A = this chain, B = another copy of it.
């Protein structure tokens, strides 16, 4: 059982959100009853972007509230969707008269609760649209893409959507650009060791001392194969083969690359993974426009990482390149 530095484990997600708000030095505020972090400076007349989902994946989602990113993040308990009334409160709080885009990972609980909140918002004449992120190529075949889970590729979609939300005139435009960012994003994760749930101490899955799970989900959902440990280069070859063939990414494409730490993997490992990813992309004639490597979307202290690619076009690149400032991502 992993030792965690906690007070009351049942309050850990909420205490962490309070700590996050304090770290942001006045750039954000909290709606306590809705476990929602908000930008303090959402301009009137802006199309709003609300992200959210279960806690336990810090810094996702609340770490991406900020300039040219999300206007608010509504947070459920650990690995649990936020409730409809929380989402409704958050919706009211971010709405500036132009409606609210809901952007979140494609999980049954989140889908249900955001949909209920959307109906409640409609009855209050607040327009909403929804984009669900389903970037995990290991979680369902391509012809069932709408059954795939959302994992670290969330970050790319939030980054594009956040910048677009600051510039478009209508909710429909924002939905359109955000959907394109989602449709151009592919990810895959692997895990060598589980995380554990703060409240129970229980590991999220079991795995042998010499095993690795290919395609592991963000909450310990099974992947596509359990294999014996292999070299970093062999592993990256396997992951990239599945990611590249899925969209597919082709020679001449320009991409953004994210290597995301699922928790306890060292930066040394992520960096040497990057070396191999880049050699594969170079061989395929795919150009890398930007690289992010770090702990953006975690599963507690899970050992493992994911690789995500976002295929750019001129419009996506324009929005991707806009400067952002938030707890977890600041880029000039």
Q: How many angstroms from the CA of A12 to the CA of B229 in the assembled complex?
A: 17
Nearest-CB residue, chain B, relative to A305: B5
Q: Could you tell me which residues of chain A, from 185 to 200, have a CB within 8 Å of some CB in chain B?
A: 192-193, 195, 198
With A23-B274, A294-B295 already in contact, the answer to whether A269 and B4 are too (CB < 8 A) is yes
Closest chain-B Cβ to A276's Cβ sits at a distance in Å of: 8
Q: What residues on B are CB-neighbors of A212 within 8 Å?
A: 3
Judge whether A115 is part of the interface by a CB distance below 8 angstroms.
Answer: no
Q: Is the CB of A19 within 8 A of B274?
A: yes
Separation of A55 and B209 alpha carbons in the complex (Å): 26
**Which of A42-50, A91-99, A259-267 participates in binding chain B?**
A259-267
Are A232's CB and B6's CB within 8 A? yes
Report how many copies the assembly holds: 2
**Which residues of the partner chain B approach A231 to less than 8 Å between Cβ atoms?**
6-7
Q: How far is the CA of A200 from the CA of B15 in the complex (A)?
A: 38
A22 in contact with B278 given A3-B193, A232-B6 (CB within 8 Å): yes
Query: Given the known A-B contacts A25-B288, A275-B19, are A265 and B325 also in contact in the complex, defined by CB atoms under 8 Å?
Result: no
Q: Give the CA-CA distance A270 to B274 in the complex, in Å.
A: 27
Q: Is the CB of A301 within 8 A of B58?
A: no
A7-B233, A22-B275, A332-B332 in contact; A16/B268 too (CB < 8 A)? yes
For the complex, is A285 an interface residue (Cβ under 8 Å from B)?
A: no
Contacts of A18 in B (CB 8 A): 271-272, 275
CA distance A231 to B198 in the complex (A): 13
Q: Does A291 touch B at the CB level, under 8 Å?
A: yes
User: Inside 8 A of A272's CB, which chain B residues have their CB?
Assistant: 5-7, 12, 15-16, 18-19
Which of B210, B265, B290 is A25 in contact with, Cβ under 8 Å? B290
Q: Does A247 contact B (CB under 8 A)?
A: no
A20 at the interface (CB under 8 A from B): yes
The answer to whether A58 touches B332 (Cβ under 8 A) is: no
Tell me the smallest distance from the CB of A43 to a CB of chain B, in Å. Answer: 19
Whether A303 sits at the interface, judged by CB under 8 Å, is: yes
Residue A106 at the B interface, CB < 8 A?
Answer: no
Query: What is the CB-to-nearest-CB distance from A247 to chain B, in angstroms, rounded to a whole number?
Result: 22
**Residue from A6, A271, A295 whose CB has the most chain B CB atoms within 10 Å:** A271
Answer whether A266 and B301 are a contact pair too, CB < 8 Å, given A6-B231, A12-B272, A272-B16. yes
Q: Is B293 a contact partner of A6 (Cβ separation < 8 A)?
A: no
Closest 9 pairs between A and B when the two form their complex, measured CB to CB: A58-B267, A19-B271, A264-B264, A19-B274, A16-B271, A19-B275, A15-B272, A23-B291, A3-B192
Residues of A at the B interface (CB closer than 8 Å) are 1-7, 12-13, 15-20, 22-25, 55-56, 58-59, 63, 192-193, 195, 198, 209-210, 212, 229, 231-233, 235, 263-275, 278, 288, 290-291, 293-295, 298, 300-301, 303, 305, 323, 325, 327, 330-332
Known interface pairs A2-B193, A3-B303; 8 further A-B residue pairs with C-beta atoms within 8 A, sorted by A's residue number: A3-B209, A4-B269, A5-B235, A7-B233, A23-B291, A56-B268, A293-B327, A294-B294
Name 22 interchain pairs, CB-CB below 8 A, sorted by A: A1-B209, A2-B303, A3-B193, A5-B272, A7-B272, A15-B271, A16-B267, A16-B269, A18-B275, A19-B270, A19-B273, A23-B293, A25-B291, A63-B267, A195-B266, A198-B268, A265-B301, A266-B301, A323-B332, A330-B330, A330-B331, A332-B332
